[in-house]
Structure 1
Amino acid sequence: MRRTPPIRVLSRALSIAAATLLLAACADTAGDTAQGTAGCEAYQQYGTFKDKKVSLYSGIVAPEDEPHINSYKNFERCTGIQVEFQGEKEFDTQVQVRIKGGNPPDLAIFAQPGLVKQLVETGKAVQAPDTVVANVKKFWSESWQGYVTVNGKVYGAPLGANVKSFVWYSPKEFKAKGYTVPKTLDELKTLSEKIAAGGQKPWCVGIGSGDATGWPVTDWMEDMMLRLSGPKAYDDWVNHTIPFNGPEATGALDAVGEYLKNPAFVNGGLGDVKSVASTQFQDAGLPILQGQCSLHRQGSFYAQNWPKGVNVSPDGDIYAFYFPSKDDTSKPVLGGGEFVVAFSDRPEVKAFQTFLASDTWANEKVASTPGGGWISANTGMDASKLTNPIDKLSAQILQDPKSVFRYDGSDQMPGAVGTNAFWKQGTNWVTGQSTKATLDAIEAAWPK
């Protein structure tokens, strides 16, 4: 997932020192675990506890919560710490209510770096202990480290990751019609024109998502910003050191418009251009299965939306290719992920937080998700253990040293922009509003 500078692996001495500090912190609460400690060598560094509990709050709900809960079983057995996992659909709202009300969880899993920074600024988040910092620096690139670093201090650890720079397609259709996977943006445009010339709308697109309608537009635009202006301009745009309505953003949204607002390119099997706004994002790629469109840009998580029985593989009914760059000299990758942040500094909380930042947990999580659908940018994750073809493809992209990873921009922006004006104005843009009016309105929403 990166062009970012090489990961700085800490010395063995630092790792041992960090583990020693954690063991010392845990010594006064240490005790024998009731279940036994056979096969617990990898967990000895976290210490042993008696009758200690740690609460973990998340937006991950049943049945997706089961792999998470299972990934902590060995940790619980070997350390004696009981993890109380709670998932809630209204997490984004309720976690802030709980924190402001003085009832925060010990740990919480966030998908938005912007919210993490907001909570740090309130003084509620707890700075990560040295053991967590050591793992974060050991197993993640500098770009990922930056998403949990505020004012030079680390406040959490990355967990899962996803790749958003994907285009879904039918390998069987490509083989039958002689299409080839494009390697550059020019080739992507040429392929789209070739499909359209054959009498079929090449793209199927949907941005509907209830109160969050419009977010797929932000992903399209962010991918284009990365490709046309580069990671430095992308970072400046996300941080508002260049205006939201500047020439870089204008060029990116206009480039998206060449696809999403082009009646020759959309909306295969779904309607005209305006149907892009009314089509639910979950349904938007399905016309590929009926041969009504050929291409659908959506992240790796979209793999869960294909109906049961659909063969998702390089030679199957459906697969995905990397959304190509401007040329073959760069490989920008847009993605998202999760981060765990603490609101307590008890020894047992530090121990569990350190475990979540380790390669041990990343591999336990892979093992507890046999059906696939989860990966991490943790370099200690053994990609050879992945079984899902899309997971394998995502990991290959994430671990490619040529890749330049950047986190979803709207998730880093202030809420008034990233999860409000950007979504709403993007929807207005799809249904006819001009690029200038759209970007001017979003710029005006930026907090002064």
Structure 2
Amino acid sequence: MFGQPKSPRFRAALAGTMSAGLVLGLAACGDSDSDSGTSGSNASAAAIDCAPYTKFGDIKGKTVSIYTSIVTPEDTPHIDSYKPFEQCTGATIKYEGDKAFETQVLVRAKAGNPPDIAYVPQPGLVKQLVATGKAVPAPEEVSANTDKFFGADWKAYATVDGKFYGAPLGANVKSLVWYSPKSFKDAGYAVPTTLDELKALSDKMVADKKKPWCAGISSGDATGWPLTDWMEDFMLRLSGPETYDKWVSHEIPFNGPESTAALDAVGAYLKNDQYVNGGLGDVKSIASTTFQDGGLPILEGTCEMHRQASFYAANFPKETNIAEDGDIFAFYLPGKDAASKPVLGAGEFVIAFADRPEVKAFQTYLSSDTWANEKAKISSGWVSANKGLNQANLKNPIDALAGKILLDPNATFRFDGSDQMPAAVGANAFWKQATSWITGQDTKTTVDNIEKAWPK
């Protein structure tokens, strides 16, 4: 009934983003400030406040099982980030990463053999798991942490029929444009702060005999998904968050004027022969270019910009200097004006299938600012929307940029739309029709066909 998560198609992009060799050595737990981000970036000297977990009683020797799609090497920082909790409580966290997580977690839940906790990468799958009757509502401590550190928008994504099931874990930012700082500096280009400025910059690049944009949407069975992100970004910018929410939940039709305008706005960039596909071919080459390769022409100087999420950093060669003054960096995809800060993104949610004290205690830890800061200190390619995250702990420049965007008090965050739509739409018709659109199908036929796919 709900869309399948996009995480399988992201896995290749994520490979290599985490520093698998980083290990957290923790001093004995003490009575220090629970916001471990205030103690500096030296994780080996960190100590956390164990008091929040004493209320769950003596859980020494107990085990909590985790099931997730996060596999080697990204699993290492996760596992290491649990050590403070394990040392505080004496409990053991048993971690299991599985590339087949999205299908197997449902199979296990329906069979009555779920893990204690699953990291669920999209709201649609949260709803499916709740529908099995095996997921349990989050404890009061987790609800309070979510209110304090994330807010109502994030909390709503894991709330089903008025019951709250899980706090957010990690997050990514999709509203980014990758570019070459050196190329911009040499050409005298300024990073745009409005959509009008972005369009004017693209036109200036064309006048300078350059191709402004490059893109790739090929991704096996999931071919087309990058176009859904483009459309969602423009839907959010042109029509606002309230209309975006109605569109996602089908309170307004997919072939309505708002949706049509958003896709046409994408077409002004990606179906413009003067704008694309720098270093790769014509407009139709977007469909045959893999999403992993879509932004690489920036390094060759044959393309100036590539709209893709924060996790795209993993696709550049290892020797690439990704920094504000490096070979590659990214800027925020602007809104209609400089004051508005719409942000499209995604993330995971911590969903439990058991309410034993040790499970509740670990859920509480994962929803805290304490864990967010411990995780940030030992990770690269990871960020959280947790408001208690000390941004100084984000050492990777792209992580720092994503964190700044997510934690901007003026930001209006919305979760990936197709990840919330029914599977027949978000993980099928939307992808396929968007691919047909980029290879020549007109906008009206595209949105009409997607509308027809919506379950009655």
Aligned-residue offset at 1:181: 0.8
Q: Distance in 1 between matches of 2:425 and 2:82?
A: 36
* Correspondence for 1:146: 156
* Displacement of 1:357: 0.6
Q: Percent identity?
A: 66
1:373 alignment counterpart: 381
1:410 aligns with 2:418: yes
Q: How does 1:306-317 map to 2 (within 5 A)?
A: 306-317=316-327
Write the distance in 2 (CA, Å) between the matches of 1:259 and 1:219: 14
Greater shift, 302-311 or 231-240, is seen at 302-311
Superposed displacement of residue 118, structure 1: 2.2
Distance 1:434 1:162 in 2: 31
> 2:112 touches 2:134 (CA, 8 Å); kept in 1?
no
In the alignment, what sits opposite 1:43?
A: 50
Aligned equivalent of 2:198: 188
Q: How much has 1:210 moved relative to structure 2?
A: 1.3
Work out which of the residue numbers 126, 132, 135 in structure 2 matches 1:116: 126
Alignment match, 1:424: 432
User: How far apart, CA to CA, are the structure 2 residues paired with 1:329 and 1:53?
Assistant: 48
The CA deviation at 1:38 is 4.4
Q: Distance in 2 between matches of 1:196 and 1:351?
A: 57
Report what 1:253 is aligned to.
263
Q: What amino acid does structure 2 have at the position aligned with 1:94?
A: Q
CA shift, 1:209, in A, is: 1.1
Counterparts of 2:363 and 2:409, CA distance in 1: 28
Q: After TM superposition, list the pairs within 5 Å mapping 1:354-373 onto structure 2.
A: 354-369=364-379, 372-373=380-381
Which of 247, 250, 255 in structure 2 is aligned with 1:240?
250
Amino acid aligned to 1:46: Y
2:307 maps to which of 297, 307, 329: 297
What is the alpha-carbon distance in structure 2 between the residues aligned to residue 316 and residue 250 of structure 1? 38
Distance in 2 between residues matched to 1:319 and 1:77, nearest whole Å: 38
Q: Are 1:326 and 2:336 matched, yes or no?
A: yes
**Aligned partners of 2:233, 2:100: CA distance in 1, in Å?**
28
Q: Give the drift of 1:327.
A: 1.5
Contact 1:319 1:390 in 2 (8 A): yes
How does 1:342-353 map onto structure 2 within 5 Å? 342-353=352-363
Cα distance, 1:41 vs structure 2: 5.4
- Residue 63 of structure 1 corresponds to 73
SS at 1:156 equivalent: coil
Code of the residue aligned with 2:52 in structure 1: it is Q
Taking the aligned partners of 1:424 and 1:103, their CA distance within structure 2 comes to 35
Task: Tell me the alpha carbon deviations over residues 299-343 of structure 1, each in whole angstroms, 9 at most, x when there is no partner.
Answer: 111112111121111111111111111122311111111111001
Whole-angstrom CA distance in 2 between matches of 1:420 and 1:345? 35
What is the alpha-carbon root mean square deviation over aligned residues?
Answer: 1.4
Q: Aligned to 1:282, what secondary structure does the other structure show?
A: coil
Tell me whether 1:85 sits opposite 2:95 in the alignment. Answer: yes
Cα contact 2:138–2:165 (8 A) shared by 1: yes
Residue in structure 2 matching 1:391, options 395, 399, 424: 399
Aligned match for 2:170, one of 140, 151, 160:
160
Cα distance, 1:120 vs structure 2: 1.5
In structure 1, the residue corresponding to 2:49 is in which secondary structure? helix
CA distance in 2, matches of 1:36, 1:334: 38
Letter in 1 for 2:451: E
How far apart, CA to CA, are the structure 1 residues paired with 2:219 and 2:359?
36
CA positional deviation for 1:433: 1.1
Instruction: Report matched runs for 1:207-246 at 5 Å.
Output: 207-246=217-256
Contact 1:36 1:78 in 2 (8 A): no
- The whole-number CA distance in structure 2 between the counterparts of 1:215 and 1:418 is 9
Whether the aligned pair in 1 keeps the contact of 2:179 and 2:330 (CA below 8 Å) is yes
Alignment partner, residue 38 of structure 2 = none
1:263 to 273, 295, 307: 273
Q: CA deviation at 1:46?
A: 1.3
Distance in 2 separating the partners of 1:71 and 1:222: 33
Q: What displacement does 1:50 show?
A: 2.9
Deviates more, 1:85-94 or 1:48-57: 48-57
| Cα distance per residue 1:217-268 (max 9 Å; x no partner) | 0000001001111111100000100001100000000110111111111101
1:17-32 maps to which residues of 2 (within 5 A)? none
With over 3 angstroms needed to count, the CA separation of the structure-2 counterparts of 1:36 and 1:407, relative to structure 1, is closer
Specify the alignment match of 1:173 in structure 2.
183
User: Is the partner of 2:170 in helix, strand or coil?
Assistant: strand
Q: CA deviation at 1:402?
A: 1.4
Aligned to 1:201: 211
1:100 aligns with 2:100: no
Q: What are the Cα deviations for residues 182-224 of structure 1, in whole angstroms up to 9, with x where unaligned?
A: 1111111111111122222110100111111111000000010
CA displacement at 1:380 relative to structure 2: 0.9
List structure 1 runs of 4+ shifted beyond 6 angstroms.
none
Structure 2 residues not aligned, in runs of 5+: 1-25, 31-46
Looking at structure 1, the residues matched to 76 and 268 of structure 2 have their Cα atoms a distance apart, in angstroms, of 42
Distance in 1 between residues matched to 2:263 and 2:364, nearest whole Å = 41
Match of 1:3 in 2: none
Structure 2 length as normaliser, TM-score? 0.88
Letter aligned with residue 416 of structure 2? D
How far 1:134 moved relative to its partner? 1.0
> What amino acid sits opposite 2:337 in the alignment?
D
CA distance in 2, matches of 1:37, 1:70: 15
CA contact (8 A) 2:278 2:297 kept: yes
**What is the TM-score normalised by the length of structure 1?**
0.90
- Does 2:448 match 1:440? yes
Q: Comparing 226-235 with 415-424, which one deviates more in the overlay?
A: 415-424
Q: 3-state SS of the aligned residue for 2:119?
A: strand
- Alignment partners' CA distance in 1, 2:437 and 2:134: 38
Q: How many residues align?
A: 412
Letter in 1 for 2:386: N
The worse-fitting range, judged by mean Cα deviation, of 44-53 and 166-175 is: 44-53
